[in-house]
Copies of this chain bind each other. A is one copy, B any other.
Amino acid sequence: MKVIGHQTHHTIADFDSIFNYLHNYFTTKQPGLHLFPELFLTGYPLQDLCLQKEFILKYEQFINKINEWSESLGDRFPNTCLLLGGLHYDLSASQMAERIENCIYALELGKKLKKVYVKKLLPNYDIFDEKKYFAMGTECGVWQYQGLNIALMICEDMWYSEQYHLDPALDLKNQGIEFDLVINLSASPFHIRKEDARLERSKIISKELGAPFFYINRVGGEDEILFDGRSLVMDGEDLVFKAKIFEAQVFEIDLSKFSKKEASKEELLNKNRQKSSWESLFLPHLDNHQLRKLNDKECEVLCDALEFGLTEYMSKSGFKKVVIALSGGIDSALVLALATQALGESNVEAIYMQGQYSSPISYELSREMCDHLGVALKIMPIKFLHSTIRTQYKQNFGEELHGVSDENIQSRLRGTLLYARSNQTGAMVINTSNKSEISVGYSTQYGDSVGAISLLGDLYKTEVYALCRYLNRVSPGIIPVGIIDRPPTAELREGQRDDQSLPPYEIMDTILECFLSSSYSRDEIISLGFSSNYVDQILKLFSISEFKRFQFCPIIKLKSKGYGFGHRLPITKSTSIYK
């Protein structure tokens, strides 16, 4: 029997496009077992959308349409069965959702959809809220098709939960069935270094259940969350197939190629529980007491992820072009490079907005970069506007603007002008903040923190450098060396440099990584060799800047622990927590 994996890519709730995919694919005979991702029929994550009556009505109509289409095919598609991820609703008399299941439907072409499995392990940590919406399945995923014993799982089911004491893979093992095939339909969000764990666990499951493991993942960028695809087939220790990253793909594997194996007697699932639990995802990424360095392969994947996430957000929001505020610094340079690679130079515009404290080199480096890339660079000075506000402020309030008030005006004027250009041309503004700045609130709210989506918000400053150096190795000259070499500065006052206000980034990034993982206390971080002054300064800045993160734009998620939807802290709380 052939197994056909459909690594698909659809917009959330785009029922027409999902229907058309099925309708157009099954025009000629396609015998075999066709696998589609988790929640293929709806998209994921839906959040409150799955509770809205209008969504439920449209989804139920769509399900009826699939059933009618399938029945209309009669017996023209023998031996063709689809396993599709979707929702199952129990509705009240007034068509409100009483119970929602995240399930697998089997569709034998010619017949109707039939629910064959309900997800058991509902992730509810970090960005996940599945227990908010879905009811837990209680039955083991055992399904027979054409004389084969098939084990079914949905995404998280392949992992183990310490908190809920659930191990669906082990439950399957304990059924005492000789499985011919193990299938996992997934919608698994991307983060760097996740695939290693995924491959490892796939091997364990395949060996322990004694059957090839088919893992089908969706592709898509949903605001901050990316789905990377990379569907795979594992046979024991052997990676038989791996699909593309961030790209739809259909692949076919004949089951006859697998020889029958004995299920392992080693109790691998039990033995490897700890590193298969989600809690293990939130350990800090350290190497020798320092933030672990990105290697070239990781840099490549991160650039791919950011370019994919950007194009996804834009196409789904109806944008074709972007506008980027270039400062002559490293963050906006990396954003410009990534956007140009993703969209082509004709869809990118840079604006340089010199202020009173901008040094000539900032403009020269911006110019050099845009010339190299072929990107249009526009100029819009803020000096005169800034001095006008100063004068007007003095006239109207009878005092001089001082310090931070004066600094922030420049940043907010830039935000205003950048958005004027965006409104005028229909180009989307990309935010240019990085994770280090966001962590300590080193930005001006409604100023340099504006934007529709953040590319660098899950990358520490030292990782922004690493990515720039990587890009320069792959595409020499893309980031001017002068930008990499100059000390970071916001240029909002005379001679300003980041290191006047903040610890060195190498130190700060490591401290932040230890703290954000939730698994290091203040004293433990200090015991790694960091000064208590630095640690206390950073934790304090982190604590008091929550109000800025609250109003921040979506940040493309690259790490197991980042800001955005998976980060939830009260803005107001006792100030004594972090000291």
User: Which residues does A use to contact B, with CB under 8 Å?
Assistant: 11-17, 43, 45-49, 51-55, 57-58, 94-96, 98-99, 124-125, 129, 131-132, 135, 162-163, 222-223, 279, 312-313, 316-317, 378-381, 384-385, 388-389, 392-393, 396-397, 399, 401-402, 404-405, 408-409, 412-413, 415-417, 419-421, 423-424, 445-446, 450, 452, 515, 518-522, 524, 539, 547, 550-554, 565, 567-574, 576-578
- Chain B residues with CB under 8 A of A98: 162-163, 279
Query: Which residue of chain B is the closest to A514 with respect to CB atoms?
Result: B53
**A553 vs B94: C-alpha distance in the bound complex, in angstroms?**
35
Query: Which residue of chain B is the closest to A561 with respect to CB atoms?
Result: B48
**A44 vs B163: C-alpha distance in the bound complex, in angstroms?**
21
Are A423 and B408 touching (Cβ within 8 A)?
yes
**A129 vs B567: C-alpha distance in the bound complex, in angstroms?**
13
Are A547 and B131 touching (Cβ within 8 A)?
no
Pick from A15, A163, A416, A547 the residue with the most CB of B within 10 Å. Answer: A416
Are A569 and B48 touching (Cβ within 8 A)?
yes
Are B572 and A12 touching (Cβ within 8 A)?
yes
Are B446 and A569 touching (Cβ within 8 A)?
no
Contact partner of A551 (CB less than 8 A), chosen from B393, B421, B551, is B551
Say yes or no: A573-B416 contact (C-beta < 8 A), given A396-B380, A547-B317: no
Query: Which residue of chain B is the closest to A539 with respect to CB atoms?
Result: B54
Are A96 and B279 touching (Cβ within 8 A)?
yes
- Chain B residues with CB under 8 A of A312: 572
Min CB–CB distance A563 → chain B (angstroms): 11
With A46-B570, A401-B424, A415-B416 already in contact, 15 other A-B pairs whose C-beta atoms are closer than 8 Å? A13-B573, A13-B574, A14-B574, A17-B574, A45-B570, A47-B568, A48-B567, A53-B521, A54-B521, A222-B570, A313-B572, A397-B424, A401-B420, A412-B416, A565-B568
Are B396 and A378 touching (Cβ within 8 A)?
yes
Are B573 and A316 touching (Cβ within 8 A)?
yes
Are A446 and B452 touching (Cβ within 8 A)?
no
- Chain B residues with CB under 8 A of A416: 389, 409, 412-413, 415-416, 446
- Chain B residues with CB under 8 A of A565: 568
Query: Which residue of chain B is the closest to A423 with respect to CB atoms?
Result: B405
Pick from A15, A95, A547 the residue with the most CB of B within 10 Å. Answer: A547
The 10 closest A-B pairs by CB, nearest first: A316-B572, A405-B423, A14-B574, A47-B568, A412-B416, A405-B424, A12-B573, A13-B574, A53-B521, A446-B446
